[in-house]
Amino acid sequence: MSGLLAALAHLVAALGAYGLLLILLMLAGSVIPAQMVGVVRRKVRRTREEALAARMRRRFGEPLIELLADEADEAARRHFLSLVASPGGAPLTRDERRAVADLVLGGLPKVRGEAHVGVRRLFVEGDLTAIYLDDARSRSARRRGLAAEALGELRLVEAIPALEVLIVDPAPEIRLIAARALSKQGVPLAAEALLTGLTRGAIPSGVATLSLLRLGAAAGPALTARLVDPRPEVRAIAVDLLGALRWRVNPDDVIALTQDAAVSVRAAAARTLGWLELDAAMPALLSLLAGDAEATVRAEAAQALGRIGDPKSAYALRLALRDAQRPVATVAANALLALGDAGLQALTLARQDTQGRASAYALETLQRSGHVASA
């Protein structure tokens, strides 16, 4: 490497500034035409694809509409499928089949009810899904991306293995499309694929969280299994989402995570115990509020106690008003308000508290909520 650099330095010295300029111009002269060829090639391909799509629309558009307009007409369905299988005796080429599949797919988001079911049936009966399953393995990233989008729209269980591969695709944009596609599937298998993408570092945790949330209750079993995942970020997402989804998880599994070594996991566990409003979680939350070293965790515990709303937590929340960290004390004050009479009583008592800024926080909260007139 150093030898090459030295040779280049000699060349520059020998040629001078004009010589260097000449070399740069020669390099540019070879790069620019190569780029132009690429642009022209893409343009030609796009034009050819559009022409093919227009041809297929002319040939298949009307039979497709006829079929969707009369859901009960089996003859229209058979007619369309026979056209796809062999129009005029000559079988469709692979590109033509893809154009037909795109045409049918284009109708899917525009209709609902029986017509929507009818479009999806066509994919299965006309074996059009196979086009996208093949494209998911294409060398072209563009094809893989389009295939991922199409498979997402189709919501077929047989598409999940292909999306599972695309979620760890070398191209990051394909991985994001695959995550979105998986989030539309509505089956537990899709959650497994998304969690695989997360654990292999293929998709950011924000994307995984949002996709799993969109997946809804179908993500519950896979998330429950990940409560004991060796990676703290996975445990945190799992416990957090189970709370957000109000999944009926075994309370003991979540309570165990309040002792986790990772702050994010303890905070998420506290949050989830609050969302699930479990009385059995009270001792664990009270212990976090009083003794956790991290302010974030104490604040989450206070908020969760407020959500559960048990008057028995009033004393502990009153003590939390003394917390040196303002966010913990403010959350505790709001949680006391959520407890009703017991909380108001605790706030009133705290006005006499001489430790920390408990008295000031209590007064501030009572004034803000209109229970004490502002000065």
Partner 1 sequence: MATVLIVDDDPFISGLASAKARQLGHQVEVAENGEDGLRMALSLQPDLIVLDLMMPKLTGIEVCRSVRAVPAMRATPIIMLTGKGQERDIEEGFAVGATDYLVKPFSPREFQTRVRALLERSAGVGAAQ
Residues forming the site for partner 1 (CB under 8 A): 61-62, 65-66, 68-71, 106-107, 109-116
Residue 144 C-beta: closest distance to partner 1, Å: 26
Residue 106 C-beta: closest distance to partner 1, Å: 7
337, 356 Cβ separation under 8 angstroms: no
CA–CA separation, 255 and 331 (whole Å): 21
Residue 76 C-beta: closest distance to partner 1, Å: 10
Q: 66 or 95: whose CB is closer to partner 1?
A: 66
Closest CA to 101 of 137, 67, 135, 51: 135
Q: 71 or 353: whose CB is closer to partner 1?
A: 71
Q: 153 or 169: whose CB is closer to partner 1?
A: 153
Positive or negative: CA dihedral 103, 105, 106, 108: positive
Q: 109 or 221: whose CB is closer to partner 1?
A: 109
**Coil/strand/helix, residue 73:** coil
CA–CA separation, 333 and 294 (whole Å): 18
Q: 153 or 323: whose CB is closer to partner 1?
A: 153
Q: What's the distance, CA 34 to chain centroid?
A: 38
End-to-end C-alpha distance for the chain, whole angstroms? 77
**Coil/strand/helix, residue 190:** helix
Phi-psi region of 231 (alpha: psi -120 to 50; beta: other; left: phi over 0): beta
Residue 247 C-beta: closest distance to partner 1, Å: 28
Q: Is 289 exposed, middle or buried (0-12, 13-18, 19+ CB in 10 A)?
A: buried
Positive or negative: CA dihedral 13, 18, 21, 25: negative
Provide the 8-state DSSP code for 338: H
Q: 70 or 74: whose CB is closer to partner 1?
A: 70
CA–CA separation, 103 and 117 (whole Å): 16
CA–CA separation, 113 and 178 (whole Å): 26
Closest CA to 232 of 210, 209, 199: 199
Q: 73 or 173: whose CB is closer to partner 1?
A: 73
Q: 113 or 206: whose CB is closer to partner 1?
A: 113
In sequence order, what are the residues at sequence separation of 6 or more whose Cβ sits closer than 8 angstroms to the Cβ of residue 114?
71
Residue 54 C-beta: closest distance to partner 1, Å: 11
Residue 57 C-beta: closest distance to partner 1, Å: 8
253, 224 Cβ separation under 8 angstroms: yes
Residue 42 C-beta: closest distance to partner 1, Å: 27
Residue 114 C-beta: closest distance to partner 1, Å: 6
Q: 68 or 84: whose CB is closer to partner 1?
A: 68
Residue 137 C-beta: closest distance to partner 1, Å: 30
